[in-house]
Amino acid sequence: MQDDIFTVFIAEDEAPARELLLDFVFSRNELKMEGWSRNGQDAYSKLCEKEYDLLFLDINMPFMTGIEVLEKLKNPPYVIFTTAYDAFAIKAFEFGAVDYLLKPFTQERFNNAVDKALSVIRNKDSNSNSLTKLGLSFKEGDNHYLIGYNDIIYISSQGRHSFIHTRTKVFETVQSLKDINQKLPDDLFIRIHKQYIVNLNYISHVQYLIGGQYAAFLKDAEKTTLTIGRMYAPALKGKLTF
């Protein structure tokens, strides 16, 4: 970004949508078109070579999905998703993007999304646009999700699968608890057991149990109780100062 000129990259495999985005970008004086791609692998390669301020990213692309591209990028641009998904599926993504455009979209809708994105870019520091600042990305079956951190209550594991417990739904993923833990901000989440990671904001209180064990009581609708492993207790004590 230089002198309020924002560089743009478009990753979109559908030619009509791509051409529409190009036309709309050129209609905005503060946007500078600097790159495009028609598949996920090419988009990833080009986004690794150069930094951009704003990325219009199709979710469903050949070779790599839009979410997979973002997962691999170390410092992705601010993102506006473009997608043909219905409104229910969109709910999974809107936490992790500045905005989204549901195909077919109008220029008015495009301008609204751009105005929102530019406001975010202007008012946040340059390090806050990382995907890891937006939410947890993961795959469940054929679907990719990006869930806002505040919506995650805790994460559990069973066998080779992990379960992400949110305020409205439990998601299942083949990602290990160890891999998920590496993606989470340590000022908000903490591992309390070999099978549990918990959002600190959802801990109501901690209780000492006989035998040197502790249990964490959560502020969710189910009033969940999670066992705290002995090796994890000191770190949790430090976070909660108990």
| Three-state SS annotation for 168-208 | CCEEEECCCHHHHHHHCCCCCEEEEECCEEEEHHHEEEEEE
Which residues sit opposite 181 in a β-bridge?
none
CA distances from 17 to 37, 41, 125, 218 (A): 12, 19, 31, 45
What values do phi and psi take at 47, rounded to 5?
-70, -20
Measured CA to CA, the distance from residue 21 to residue 215 in angstroms comes to 52
pLDDT, position 168: 85
What Rg do the C-alpha atoms of the chain give, in angstroms?
A: 20
Place of tokens 């839009």: 66
Domains of the chain and CATH, by start: 6-134 (3.40.50.2300), 148-240 (2.40.50.1020)
Measured CA to CA, the distance from residue 109 to residue 123 in angstroms comes to 21
Minimum mean pLDDT among 91-95, 105-109, 142-146: which range? 91-95
* Whether 1 contacts 7, CB under 8 Å: yes
Tokens standing for 149? 């951190």
pLDDT, position 110: 95
- 7-49 residue pLDDT tens: 999 999 999 999 999 999 999 999 999 999 999 999 999 999 9
pLDDT, position 127: 41
pLDDT exceeds 90 at position 78:
no
pLDDT, position 96: 59
Measured CA to CA, the distance from residue 123 to residue 137 in angstroms comes to 24
Measured CA to CA, the distance from residue 88 to residue 73 in angstroms comes to 26
pLDDT, position 162: 95
- 108-119 residue pLDDT tens: 999 999 998 888
Residue 225 three-state SS: strand
Residue type, 1: M
Cis omega (within 30 of 0) for bond into 77: no
Q: What is the pTM of this model?
A: 0.56
